Amino acid sequence: MATTTRVLFVSATTHFPNQCHKCSPVAKSIPLPVSSSSLTLSSSYSTSSLSLPTLRKTLKGVKRVGIRTSPVVAMAQSSKTTVLVTGAGGRTGQLVYKILKERSDQYVARGLVRTEESKQKIGAADDVFVGDIRDAETLVPAIQGIDALIILTSGVPLMKPGFDPTQGNRPEFYFDDGAYPEQVDWIGQKNQIDAAKAAGVKQIVLVGSMGGTDLNNPLNSLGNGNILVWKRKAEQYLADSGIPYTIIRAGGLQDKEGGIRELLVGKDDELLKTETRTIARPDVAEVCIQALNFEEAQFKAFDLASKPEGKGSPTKDFKALFSQITTRF
């Protein structure tokens, strides 16, 4: 993207070799183990979050309104998997939504964006919903009736104006009011998980970032947001929810062609200590969708990167890829 759009579901516009999921520069770091207890943080942020009983009651009363479908079409659609992509206006989210639409013989695609502007950007189809992940009630129409949820929402650090790279200084970042990682990556993702659970969703795929085992990771200092800490807290909440899940902690995202590299999975940020710390966005999108097809991907969390183009064989067997993973968190 050429300009910085101050919405929750877009990616930062500054590109760095070690850029992680929707965040800014990442220096090579030495991972340190972090226990789940150290990530149990209290939140003073007040939202309109709904309790599960309230959500279930709300969902029960929702009537689905739309175009009347013939019995033949309805029967055909019943064999497909209805998938909601949140953060569908972001660069990776757009790819996932697009692939799902292209594979209409297998999936019924839905997207969730925060603004009408974002909806127009990705085609303004009736299957794109506008909602605010910080407000649980706005998620109900999009989530009602889906089989799977792919979460690609993230807080976005914005660069402070006036940065001059010729001066040799590092850029400074900030988050808009109401768009801090605590509100977006924790409260917002928790709202999505709760709404999905209330609606009986069968699987959730959550895309995060590598680096969460190191509290001193540079990403946490951007805008004093502790973004990886809040992402990790949401991941733990999902793992404890009882819903079949797949947590993908992507390496530095690159806007390159997908499907031409050998993918690598790891755990505990071990890949950050190697030279293979990046991955193409289309490859992340493909792994998100493939995770819906194999039991081997369920109840698992893993780091994801790829070998450089030309080294190794492009990954085609995703069942084998997921079978390598043994970590639940």
Please, which residues bridge with residue 305 across strands?
264
Per residue, what are the HEC states of 66-94?
CCCCCHHHHHHHHCCEEEEEECCCCHHHH
User: Would you call 234 helix, strand, or coil by DSSP?
Assistant: helix
Tokens representing 71? 């019995």
Cβ of 64: how many Cβ atoms within 10 Å? 7
Q: Which amino acid is at 8?
A: L
C-alpha distances out from residue 289 to 222, 271, 307, Å: 30, 22, 20
Q: Does 306 participate in catalysis according to the annotation?
A: no
Catalytic residue among 11, 154, 209, 306: 209
Backbone φ/ψ region at 203: left (φ over 0), alpha (ψ -120 to 50), beta: beta
Q: Helices 189-198 & 227-239, crossing angle to 10 degrees?
A: 10
C-alpha distances out from residue 20 to 105, 228, 272, 277, 305, Å: 32, 10, 11, 9, 11
C-alpha distances out from residue 149 to 186, 237, 267, 269, Å: 16, 15, 23, 25
CA distance 117 to 66: 23
* Closest of 293, 307, 298, 303 to residue 263, by C-alpha: 307
Active site residues: 209
